[in-house]
Amino acid sequence: LFFVMYAIGCVIFKEQGFAKTQNFLNLFISNAGLIVIGVGMTTVMITGGIDISVGSFVAMACMMLAWMMERAQIGAVPAVLIVLVTGIVFGLVQGFLVAYMDIQPFIVTLAGMFFARGMTAIISKDMISITNETFMAWAKAKIYLPFGGYVNRKGVMIYPYIYPTVVIALIILILAFIMLRYTKFGRSIYAVGGNEQSALMMGLNVRRIKLKAYVLDGFLCGVGSILFCLNTLGGFVEQAKGLEMDAISAAVIGGTLLSGGVGTPFGTLFGVLIKGTISSLITAQGTLSSWWVRIVLSALLCFFIVIQSVLASAKKKK
């Protein structure tokens, strides 16, 4: 679906530069944070859970980074470390409530969503722009690629580029894939999501596995928040609203079952790229509202959920 959509865009909007290498790389640049958050969401959904607090956590983390660096004059490195620790603690608390208190993941993460959004407003109701030199240097650092260049009107060769955020996102994606596919913990996550009762009978500690999955989700959400903030360079209360739905839809479109037991990080990557392609197509078209991204994404989400249901029913009958 991604390749078909992108190919159509290259044909229809060739004059607007849709087929340029840089336009393709921009899909990764603008969605680096979402890729990492989507990987964490995929891990939790494979266990049969869900996390709808990620968008609010991103807003809180961005506000924390902005407030610490601009108001408290804390360095960029300590501020980043504090956000990462906050993500781990956030995941630990939610994971404990889900795994050991047997509270529904939707209810726990709904409370987490309200808490994080409220804390964002407590930290500051005003928008805070980040001007920290170190953080700005991270945000503006470019990695030029030795291919895909073109000569501009002045006769200068322009090479495409990516930011370090893309490299970090792809490294995390690969590590998550290796972890889920080749480690005991990864296989245990699939086992718990596939059939919790069978996992118990196999001798797996289901509660501990669920807790670890949510802690990993919290950590990845912290990393994703930092990458997101490197793109926005600021924090405000309404930031990242609806990001949790983007992460969930990317995972589902990428093949992760809502019932658990099935899913891959690379599938989620393509879910994110599909969302980015829809946004690019609507931007290139020029006359449609940006809200059409949500409309098309919701239609695709419904379509893939129906396909999942049909395939699951067919497999059950077989």
* DSSP track, 142-195: -EE-SSS-EE-TTS-EE--EE-HHHHHHHHHHHHHHHHHHHSHHHHHHHHHHH-
Residue 72 is given by DSSP the state S
Q: What is the pLDDT of residue 155?
A: 79
Token pair 């005991």 is found at 184
> Dihedrals φ, ψ of 150, to 5°?
-145, 160
Q: What is the pLDDT of residue 302?
A: 87
Q: Please name the residues in contact with 209: beta carbons below 8 A apart, sequence gap of 6 or more.
A: 47, 185, 188, 189, 192, 199
- For the chain, 318 residues long, the average pLDDT of each consecutive 10-residue run is 92 85 93 96 96 96 96 96 97 97 96 96 95 95 86 82 96 97 96 94 95 97 97 94 92 90 94 92 80 84 84 78
47 vs 126: CA distance, rounded Å = 38
User: pTM of the prediction?
Assistant: 0.94
CA-nearest of 7, 16, 49 to 217 is: 49
Kindly tell me the sign of the dihedral angle through the C-alpha atoms of 64, 69, 74, 77. positive
Write down the pLDDT at residue 317: 81
Q: Which residues contact 10 (CB under 8 A, 6 or more apart)?
A: 18, 19
3 state DSSP class of 30: helix
- Cβ neighbors of 148 (< 8 A, separation 6 or more) are 20, 21, 22, 159, 160
Whose tokens are 């640049």? That residue is 29
In this structure, the strands spanning 143-144 and 161-162 are: antiparallel
